[in-house]
Amino acid sequence: MIDRLQELGREALEEIKQADSVKALESVRVKYLGKKGPITEVLRGMGQLSEEERPKVGQKANDVREEIKEKLEEKTEQLEKAAIDEKLKAESIDITLPGREVKQGARHPLTAVVEEIEDIFVGLGFQVTKGPEVETDQYNFEKLNLPAEHPARDMQDSFYVTTDMLLRTQTSPVQARTMETFEGQGPVKIVCPGKVYRRDDDDATHSHQFMQIEGLYVDKNVQMSDLKGVLEAFVQKYFGADRSIRLRPSFFPFTEPSVEVDVSCGICGGKGCRVCKYSGWIEVLGAGMIHPNVLEMSGFDPEIYTGFAFGMGVERFAMLKYGIDDIRHFYTNDIRFLNQFKRA
């Protein structure tokens, strides 16, 4: 019987060695270790043995069983590991291939210009203030010395929501609203960036929607020289220290006196070229001393307080700085155009 058990053990180990799947191993286990297996058949004949032989045969049978179980577990572990390795190999990523580019956005050029201008004026002591884009006729016009039927209203074709509500045509209403919160006590020193709307035909230099930044400074003894000093400091910081400005008389209903502000041409250095129409100067913004009526309507005594205001188009400043020839480029979302300003 011991010889038979040894033979069965060798056969089982050889079949385990030849097995190429977990399923085949399970068949070997059932074949040799099952209740109807040959090892069990041998043990059933132990009744014919003497008392001295039984323990030896029983011990050998247990040894053969344990060896078969051990080899089954080892081979099962090998086959499972091989299956996992094969699956990983089939699902592996070829790291030699170039990765897919992750496209990242950047600030829109107008946003970059607005933030740059804000930073300059914050450095000059101004605060950034914002207000509603849907505005009342009172704040958009009347509080700015533009009563109903005033001829200056014809300069701004407007988008009306109701007879008394419209899309603001300028950011000046923010100035009026802010002055009211100070209840007639200065100083007030703010810049107001934002979108404005006018019914205009879109072309290379006009748009029905564009961005403005307006500024306001109200305090005692504010003079025109203060306005010139602030604007000159701003222009030299934005365009370059070699640039200068000039003031030309103009008219705006909410300022008196009013001026147009020109900056010396950066292409020709003020000598005259095609860009500046051979004048040496480029018009960039409007400004002036705040009209006494505007101060009074916002709660300030014009006998005590004076102030200046100015307004500029953000698109114009961006076009001048980056050499852009068509305002429509800012709003068509052409990636080829916008990619040029990733580091702006």
Position 323 scores a pLDDT of 87
Burial class (CB in 10 A: 0-12, 13-18, 19+), 102: exposed
Distance from CA of residue 183 to its chain's centroid?
Answer: 38
Beta strands in the chain (DSSP E): 127-128, 134-136, 165-167, 188-197, 209-219, 245-252, 255-264, 281-290, 306-313
Query: Residues with Cβ < 8 Å from 41, sequence gap 6 or more?
Result: none
28 assigned to some structural domain = yes
Same domain, 119 and 83: no
The token pair that represents 66 in the structure block = 């344990």
Same domain, 71 and 186: no
* Statement: residue 165 has pLDDT above 80: yes
9 assigned to some structural domain = yes
Compute the distance between CA of residue 343 and CA of residue 225 in angstroms, rounded to an integer.
Answer: 36
102 assigned to some structural domain = no
Domain count of the fold of the chain: 2
Q: Quote the domain boundaries for residue 16.
A: 2-91
Same domain, 24 and 133: no
Contact 165, 134 (CB under 8 A): yes
Of 30, 65, 91, the last residue of a domain is: 91
Higher pLDDT, 193 or 66: 193
- Write down the pTM of the prediction: 0.69
In DSSP terms, which residues pair with 160 in a beta bridge?
166
Of 63, 91, 119, the last residue of a domain is: 91
101 assigned to some structural domain = no
Same domain, 125 and 220: yes
Predicted confidence (pLDDT) per residue in 218-235, tens digit: 999 999 999 999 999 999
162 assigned to some structural domain = yes
Of 91, 126, 155, the last residue of a domain is: 91
Same domain, 41 and 124: no
Compute the distance between CA of residue 268 and CA of residue 242 in angstroms, rounded to an integer.
Answer: 12
Position 307 scores a pLDDT of 97
Position 44 scores a pLDDT of 66
- Please, which pLDDT band fits residue 257 given cuts at 50, 70 and 90? very high
Position 148 scores a pLDDT of 80
Same domain, 43 and 71: yes
Same domain, 176 and 310: yes
Same domain, 56 and 175: no
Q: Considering only CA atoms, which of 39, 36, 38 is closest in space to residue 62?
A: 39
Position 73 scores a pLDDT of 87
Q: Is 256 annotated as a binding residue?
A: yes
- Please, which pLDDT band fits residue 125 given cuts at 50, 70 and 90? very high
- Please, which pLDDT band fits residue 287 given cuts at 50, 70 and 90? very high
Same domain, 87 and 203: no
Same domain, 158 and 224: yes
CATH for 162: 3.30.930.10
Q: What does residue 190 show for φ and ψ, rounded to 5 degrees? A: -135, 160
75 assigned to some structural domain = yes
306 assigned to some structural domain = yes
Same domain, 66 and 125: no
Same domain, 254 and 301: yes
- Please, which pLDDT band fits residue 196 given cuts at 50, 70 and 90? very high
Q: How far is CA 265 from CA 38, 212, 230, in A?
A: 106, 22, 19
Least confident of 12-16, 117-121, 286-290, 306-310: 12-16
Q: Considering only CA atoms, which of 42, 15, 44 is closest in space to residue 30?
A: 15
99 assigned to some structural domain = no
In DSSP terms, which residues pair with 249 in a beta bridge?
259
Higher pLDDT, 275 or 298: 298
* Statement: residue 49 has pLDDT above 80: no
